[in-house]
A and B are shown apart, each in its own frame.
Chain A
Amino acid sequence: MPGAISENLAVLIVVALLSTAYIMPLLTKIGRFRVAEFFAVFMLALALSGGVYLAREILHNGAFTYAVGGWPAPWGIELSLDAVSGLFLITVGLVATPILLYASVDLVQDVGSRSRAAWFLTLFLLLVAALCGLGITGDLFNIYVMVEVATIASCAIVAAQNDATSVEATFKYLMLATIGSGFVLLAIGFLFVLTGNLNMNFIAQELAASWQNYPTALWVSLSFFMVGFGVKSALFPLHVWLPDAHSSAIAPSSAMLSSLAIKGYIIALLKVFYVAVGAEIITRLPITNILAVLGMLAIIAGALFALAQDELKRRLAFSTVSQVGYIFLGIGLGNIQGLTGSFMHILSHAITKALLFLAAGSIIKRTGKTRISEMAGVGFEMPVTLGVFAVGSLSMIGIPLFSGFVSKWQLLLGSLARGNYLSVIVLVGGSLLAAAYLLPVLRTAFFERPVQNPVVTEMAYVQLVAMLFLAVVILMVGVSPGVVLQLAKQAAMTLLGLEVLP
């Protein structure tokens, strides 16, 4: 990697986002709030282009490591830039930018005051920075720090609205997330005691040589990781906090949390399992099977819960529980197609769920109706919003030409490669259930006759652009997944320790 900027690009992305986060209140104080907003969106777009650039480098020239501050591992912090980080940086950028763009229009009105809005921007950027950090770090303690930052920031943006329900949901979220952090910290402690290292590559070397001496300790550590990250990423049955938190927050917060925040912890889990412990060991332990079973349970149970909800945002929140199951199932399958499917689904679900939450938030904001059964005829009042909602729904169901199909297809291939016919049935059944809980929304909005004709206007121009952007990305990935799929495949190969040809 030549050039000073591109050499340090990875760490620059995180540092830039962190520093932007802290100057938000200042910018608002001394300047105009609009300027702060614009600057935040601009920085996110910049981070996205940085991510794209890095991903291209990784695709063409292979993975590389970066020693922060010039201190080589194991003394310093090492960033490992491989296809996993490239893909996740792109995902974060692609989703966070339009969400913040969307949020910027009504932010002051949504959260109450200008100063609160400025703090919201701070928290939002902190969350994005932490997620980017999770994507690129190669160090266990670093992961812990980033996980904590992300958790606190997500809790705070749930509470941004400052009404009773969202504060209660935040409290519930905070309690469970803290328990999760405790598990993660303990698990890291175990690994540190076993190996004497926090750098994941060093841990892998140590473990490869000696894990058979302390299998129980390793077991305990891994199950703590699973529970800790499982709580945070809403793995069924540890999802109980998610529906409240994600449905009571304002639309951009819900979109951010449901699409990106939980994915950060999944990336962390993947790194711990496949990089720190190593594919060799992890696939020999039954823990992947447990993940696969929990993933399948999540797919079905989450979807059934979603079906039972009449409130649109709660239905979408439970849908996230179901969709996260797809990702865990892919991780559990532990083969190249399965992991590729998981990575594709991390991207595809992030884009899709962000779009659905933004669209749902728009409907609720304009019509004041939160229940699906009340939304008759809304499709004609807000054609663009409901149009992009339709795109999101079809992608979530996994119709070909939409991005959701690409991940579903890879997961199906992965299941068959493992000879796991049960998961084929679950995957197919899961997408049928997704159709069952998403299509009625469209049916009600477009084909049922409205009771009376409320005068409703479409969202602001900028918000429509943000949503259309996500819809176009869904279609682009769906129609021609080429490069992204290659990146996901390479990420899977990296995790499995297979030779990656640049």
Chain B
Amino acid sequence: MSIALVLLAIFSTTFGAIWVAVTPREAKTERNGVVLGASLASAVIVWRLLYLGLYSGVYPAFDLGVASLSLKLALDPLGLTYAVIASTLWVFASVYSLGYMASSHKQRQYFSFFLLSAGTTLGIAFSGNLFTFYLFYELLTFATYPLVVHGSSKEALEAGTRYIKYSLVGASFILAALVMLWRVTGGVLDFESLPSALCAAPSSQAVVIFFLFLIGFGVKAAIMPLHGWLPSAMVAPTPVSALLHAVAVVNAGVFGVLRTVYSVFGVDVVQSMNIQPLLLAICSITILMGSLIALKQDVLKRRLAYSTISQLAYILLGAFILHPLALAGAILHMIFHSTLKIVLFFSAGIVAEETGYVKISELKGVGRVLPLTLGSFGIISLGMVGMLPLSGFWSKYYLMRGSLATDFWILLVVLIISGFLNALYFVPITISAFTGKSDLEPRQKTRALWLMLVPTLILVGLGLVFGLWPGLTLPLVDAVVAQFFSL
């Protein structure tokens, strides 16, 4: 039964994608219905699976039994976290897309690949061994490429080429690591049995494999200096930036690193390799550099992109500290950063659609014309800074506690400086949007605008709810931590 649910979660969106592809261009209502229905269905199924896992302890795992390299799907709390984030936000992004793309060209192509990427993402989340993971990870690149180049402008094509170059090079590092791992462990690639199989491996080889994986996944996780594709990919339509470049694709990279650390090597092996200071230094540099570069960006989406680079490194930082509290912080930050950052992108998209403004210097006074949009932006950006009563506070709180609980208290300084920088590059935007003068006329609220605004507002509410009742995420975070640390 649960096996069917897992397959259904992955394939409902894939079928949706095929359905959209074969629907005639003019049948707009049908297409929109399929897009919404498919993403909603897969989200509901993922929530159901999460419920089954957390409350009944049922984590289905099964071999698909094809190929000599077995394809295996297996659920666990960590994978479910990523799946829930992605599939839930996919629904919001679907609604938003319907508004944003309402008058765009090549909608069939857009929505087909939009749904196809959703299925691929779930495939990554539910992979039970590294080979399956690699497979879906590679496919995600190809499923998302058409979304990045959707505009077909020269700039979009260049950004797409850059994206695919970075991704394929990264994936080849993963392939090299995979084949070396296969050799070391004698063909064991299952996440369940890998950490124990790797215990006996010679540590020099283990370090090489670890860094090959880190470089490979680091591309999508936008670790500096592998981040170059992300800011240029901002030329994509805003729902794509919001979903792929704040949630699905970048989190796939982060998720890959989490898998590498916790499911492939295991806490003990990583600890014994003595590479923690180096890893944490890389993350700290990415956090600070990302924030500093974000300060200098005038194009709003580019500033958000650099902010994303910085925030993703928070998650990795939490993962590399190798402490239960820090891991809890990392998981929380994965959830909260995604739900918050997507709002910022949504707002930026609405502003660009309604006023045509993409630069921060142009935003003076726009808040008076689009109060709800800029209001959402303002509230949520406080959450990115890490202020109560928004969810962003709690993840940072746990990250800080985690760094204090280990020898790496210096990270506390990094986190505080970065929080300060976040405030510096976010708050002025809101202030100038509401205080400055603009000669824009207030707009009629069209149906398209509402389609974009409603998901944004709901997500703002979600940010507040999680901020006020952080305990809501407790069962999930507990399960993830218990999965990797025996407390």
Binds A, one of B175-183, B318-326, B370-378: B175-183
- B172 engages A432 (CB within 8 Å): yes
Chain A residues within an 8 Å CB radius of B142: 394, 399
Query: Which of A428, A431, A435, A482 meets B68, CB within 8 Å?
Result: A482
- A443 engages B69 (CB within 8 Å): no
Knowing A416-B179, A416-B183, A428-B172, the reply to whether A479 touches B66 (Cβ < 8 A) is: yes
- B152 engages A448 (CB within 8 Å): yes
Q: Min CB distance, B128 to chain A, in Å?
A: 15
B163-180 CB contacts (< 8 Å) to partner A: 164-165, 168-169, 172, 175-176, 179-180
Chain B residue at smallest Cβ distance from A376: B152
A378-418 CB contacts (< 8 Å) to partner B: 394, 397, 399-401, 406, 409, 412-413, 416-417
Q: Min CB distance, B232 to chain A, in Å?
A: 16
A424-465 CB contacts (< 8 Å) to partner B: 424-425, 428-429, 431-432, 435-436, 439-440, 443, 446-449
Knowing A413-B179, A448-B152, the reply to whether A479 touches B67 (Cβ < 8 A) is: yes
In whole angstroms, how far apart are the Cα atoms of A501 and B189 in the complex?
27
Knowing A448-B152, A482-B68, the reply to whether A435 touches B160 (Cβ < 8 A) is: no
Q: Min CB distance, A73 to chain B, in Å?
A: 36
Q: Min CB distance, A442 to chain B, in Å?
A: 9
B155-211 CB contacts (< 8 Å) to partner A: 157, 160-161, 164-165, 168-169, 172, 175-176, 179-180, 182-183
Residue A485 at the chain B interface, CB threshold 8 Å? yes
Chain A residue at smallest Cβ distance from B132: A400
| Chain B residues touching A, range | 20 to 34
Knowing A432-B169, A435-B168, A447-B149, the reply to whether A424 touches B179 (Cβ < 8 A) is: yes
Query: Which of B135, B161, B165, B180 meets A400, CB within 8 Å?
Result: B135
Q: 1/0 contact trace for B133-145 toward A, CB 8 Å?
A: 0110011001000
Interface centre among A399, A400, A425, A449, by most B CB within 10 Å? A400
Residue A189 at the chain B interface, CB threshold 8 Å? no
Knowing A443-B149, A443-B161, the reply to whether A400 touches B168 (Cβ < 8 A) is: no
Q: Min CB distance, A268 to chain B, in Å?
A: 28
Residue A480 at the chain B interface, CB threshold 8 Å? yes
- B180 engages A416 (CB within 8 Å): yes
Q: Min CB distance, B345 to chain A, in Å?
A: 23
A465-502 CB contacts (< 8 Å) to partner B: 479-482, 485
Query: Which of B69, B152, B165, B172 meets A447, CB within 8 Å?
Result: B152
- B175 engages A428 (CB within 8 Å): yes
- B134 engages A400 (CB within 8 Å): yes
Chain A residues within an 8 Å CB radius of B138: 399-400
Q: Min CB distance, A381 to chain B, in Å?
A: 15
In whole angstroms, how far apart are the Cα atoms of A482 and B65 in the complex?
10
Query: Which of B135, B157, B160, B183 meets A417, CB within 8 Å?
Result: B183
Chain A residue at smallest Cβ distance from B66: A480
Residue B419 at the chain A interface, CB threshold 8 Å? no
B49-81 CB contacts (< 8 Å) to partner A: 66-69
- A409 engages B69 (CB within 8 Å): yes
Q: Min CB distance, A107 to chain B, in Å?
A: 33
Q: Min CB distance, A396 to chain B, in Å?
A: 13
Chain B residues within an 8 Å CB radius of A435: 164, 168
Knowing A432-B172, A479-B66, the reply to whether A413 touches B152 (Cβ < 8 A) is: no
Q: 1/0 contact trace for A103-118 toward B, CB 8 Å?
A: 0000000000000000
- A412 engages B149 (CB within 8 Å): no
Q: 1/0 contact trace for B99-128 toward A, CB 8 Å?
A: 000000000000000000000000000000
- B68 engages A481 (CB within 8 Å): yes
In whole angstroms, how far apart are the Cα atoms of A465 and B181 in the complex?
41
Chain A residues within an 8 Å CB radius of B172: 428-429, 431-432
Q: Min CB distance, A428 to chain B, in Å?
A: 4
Interface centre among B134, B138, B161, by most A CB within 10 Å? B138
Residue B228 at the chain A interface, CB threshold 8 Å? no
Query: Which of B66, B149, B179 meets A409, CB within 8 Å?
Result: B179
Chain B residues within an 8 Å CB radius of A413: 179, 182-183
- B149 engages A481 (CB within 8 Å): no
Chain A residues within an 8 Å CB radius of B165: 436
Q: Min CB distance, B258 to chain A, in Å?
A: 22
Chain A residue at smallest Cβ distance from B174: A428
Knowing A428-B175, A428-B176, A431-B172, the reply to whether A480 touches B139 (Cβ < 8 A) is: no
Residue B146 at the chain A interface, CB threshold 8 Å? yes
Chain A residues within an 8 Å CB radius of B161: 440, 443
In whole angstroms, how far apart are the Cα atoms of A448 and B149 in the complex?
9
Chain B residues within an 8 Å CB radius of A439: 164
- A447 engages B160 (CB within 8 Å): yes
- B160 engages A485 (CB within 8 Å): no
Chain B residue at smallest Cβ distance from A397: B168
In whole angstroms, how far apart are the Cα atoms of A7 and B149 in the complex?
58
- B152 engages A449 (CB within 8 Å): yes
In whole angstroms, how far apart are the Cα atoms of A180 and B152 in the complex?
49
- A443 engages B176 (CB within 8 Å): no
Chain B residues within an 8 Å CB radius of A416: 179-180, 183
Chain B residues within an 8 Å CB radius of A417: 183
Chain A residues within an 8 Å CB radius of B179: 409, 412-413, 416, 424
Chain B residues within an 8 Å CB radius of A409: 69, 179
Chain B residue at smallest Cβ distance from A428: B172
Chain B residues within an 8 Å CB radius of A429: 172
Q: Min CB distance, B336 to chain A, in Å?
A: 33
- A447 engages B157 (CB within 8 Å): yes
Interface centre among B131, B134, B152, B160, by most A CB within 10 Å? B152
In whole angstroms, how far apart are the Cα atoms of A43 and B69 in the complex?
36
In whole angstroms, how far apart are the Cα atoms of A447 and B161 in the complex?
11
Chain A residue at smallest Cβ distance from B135: A400
9 additional A-B pairs beyond A400-B131, A424-B179, beta carbons within 8 Å, are A400-B139, A413-B182, A432-B172, A448-B157, A449-B152, A480-B66, A482-B67, A482-B68, A485-B68
Q: Which positions in A face B, CB cutoff 8 Å? A: 394, 397, 399-401, 406, 409, 412-413, 416-417, 424-425, 428-429, 431-432, 435-436, 439-440, 443, 446-449, 479-482, 485
Pull 25 A–B residue pairs with CB atoms less than 8 Å apart, ordered by A. Answer: A399-B138, A399-B142, A400-B134, A401-B135, A409-B179, A412-B175, A412-B179, A416-B180, A424-B176, A425-B176, A428-B172, A428-B175, A429-B172, A431-B172, A432-B168, A435-B168, A443-B149, A443-B157, A443-B161, A447-B149, A447-B157, A449-B152, A479-B67, A481-B67, A481-B68
Q: Which positions in B face A, CB cutoff 8 Å? A: 66-69, 131, 134-135, 138-139, 142, 146, 149, 152, 157, 160-161, 164-165, 168-169, 172, 175-176, 179-180, 182-183
List of 6 A-B pairs having minimum Cβ-Cβ separation, nearest first: A400-B135, A412-B179, A428-B172, A416-B183, A480-B66, A447-B149
